[in-house]
Amino acid sequence: MLRDVTIGQYFPGNSLIHRLDPRFKIVITLIYILMLFTGSNVVCLAVGAVYTLIAIYLSRIPLKMFWKSVKPLLPFLLITALLNILLVDSGDVVFKWKFLKITTGGINISVFMIIRIVLLIMGSSLLTYTTSPITLTDAIERLLSPLKLLKFPVHELAMMMSIALRFVPTLIEETDKIMSAQKARGAEIDTGSFMTRAKNMISILVPLFISSFRRADELATAMECRCYNGGEGRTRLRQLKAAPRDVVALIITIMFYAAAIAVSIVYKQLTK
């Protein structure tokens, strides 16, 4: 059934990672990404991998969920790895056949890149797996709130995002109904050539758009009735309070970052 689709990839739970303040989680993820990209050797990535595995273990989310998020990107990863292997020309030659030449440098770089991207995907999936979309929106609103001084419509943006999230299941249900209704009238949605199917999609999209406009109109009236007046002077039911554990998590992340840099400096000197 269409309506069973979950929004985002949120995995409800109550682990330590789930309970972290979403604002801190976003900042920590940003530091983590920085860590992966400043490190330029394998040892540095090893530190990143240890960090990722600890975090995943703490989140109590099965590892195969992370495999699921990596899998769709696999072809892309393999193609780039292949190009790196074939095109990078440094270090010792391992294999040579006509114009093809594989070097140790090329192998190193492609392995390194695959690990980096896999870690990147796993880390950012951990954020979306442990934080509900609505909390994420809320955290983004608060993190961006300094931009209000520059007249950037932070509240409006966050309100738009949360309303969009709110209406995803409603519109999925509606699409489902319209599809059934059109099928009952003889529309061919699942069969025929690509072009016919694309054409038949119009019979679903048009009613869906019309009804979305009507919904938007009614929602706007309902919001006005409940005294909605923009972001000015609003208070919030959802309180975000940083706990000591958030600060500890942040410090640990920074320590890992520092460790990654230190280890890679030492490694460089050793391999000189």
Partner 1 sequence: MENIIEISGLHFSYPADDGKEAAEVLKGIDLTIKEGEFVAVLGHNGSGKSTLAKHINAILLPTEGKVVVGGIDTADEARIFELRQCAGMVFQNPDNQIVSSVVEEDVAFALENLGVPYEEMRRRVDDALKAVNMYDYRQHSPSQLSGGQKQRIAIAGIIAMQPRCIILDEPTAMLDPQGRKEVMATIRRMNREQGITIVLITHYMDEAAQCDRVVVMDKGTIALDDTPREVFSHVERVMEIGLDVPQVTELAWELRKAGCDIPQDIITEQECVEAIQKLFAQNKAISR
Residue 186 interacts with partner 1 (CB under 8 A): yes or no:
no
180: number of Cβ within 10 Å: 11
> Could you write out the DSSP letters of every residue in 87-153?
H---S-EEEEETTEEEEHHHHHHHHHHHHHHHHHHHHHHHHHHHS-HHHHHHHHHHHHGGGGGGT--
Instruction: Pick from 166, 197, 199, 245 the residue near partner 1 by CB under 8 A.
Output: 166
Q: How far is the CB of 169 from partner 1 (least distance, A)?
A: 4
Residue type, 186: G
Residue whose structure tokens are 């030449």:
101
Tell me how far apart the alpha carbons of residues 183 and 203 are, in angstroms, rounded to a whole number.
10
Q: Kindly state the number of chain residues that form the binding site for partner 1, as judged by CB under 8 A.
A: 30
Residue 219 interacts with partner 1 (CB under 8 A): yes or no:
yes
* Per-residue x/- track, 195-214, partner 1 (CB under 8 A): -------------------x
Residue 163 interacts with partner 1 (CB under 8 A): yes or no:
yes
Q: How far is the CB of 154 from partner 1 (least distance, A)?
A: 16
In this complex, which beta carbon is closest to partner 1, that of residue 41 or of residue 212?
212
Q: How far is the CB of 150 from partner 1 (least distance, A)?
A: 24
* Per-residue x/- track, 234-253, partner 1 (CB under 8 A): xxxxxx--------------
Q: How far is the CB of 272 from partner 1 (least distance, A)?
A: 56
Q: How far is the CB of 168 from partner 1 (least distance, A)?
A: 9
Residue 54 interacts with partner 1 (CB under 8 A): yes or no:
no
Angstrom CA distances, 22 to 25, 107, 136, 192, 209, stand at 5, 38, 6, 46, 33
3: number of Cβ within 10 Å: 10
Token output for 135: 């909390």
**Span of 45-53, 92-100, 163-171, 258-266 interacting with partner 1 by CB under 8 A:** 163-171
**Nearest by Cα to 6 from 158, 159, 165, 152:** 165
Tell me how far apart the alpha carbons of residues 245 and 234 are, in angstroms, rounded to a whole number.
28
In this complex, which beta carbon is closest to partner 1, that of residue 105 or of residue 169?
169
Tell me how far apart the alpha carbons of residues 84 and 261 are, in angstroms, rounded to a whole number.
25
| Bridge partners for 95 per DSSP | 102
In this complex, which beta carbon is closest to partner 1, that of residue 166 or of residue 199?
166
For partner 1, the binding residues (CB under 8 A) are: 3, 133-134, 162-163, 165-166, 169-170, 173, 214-215, 218-219, 221-229, 233-239
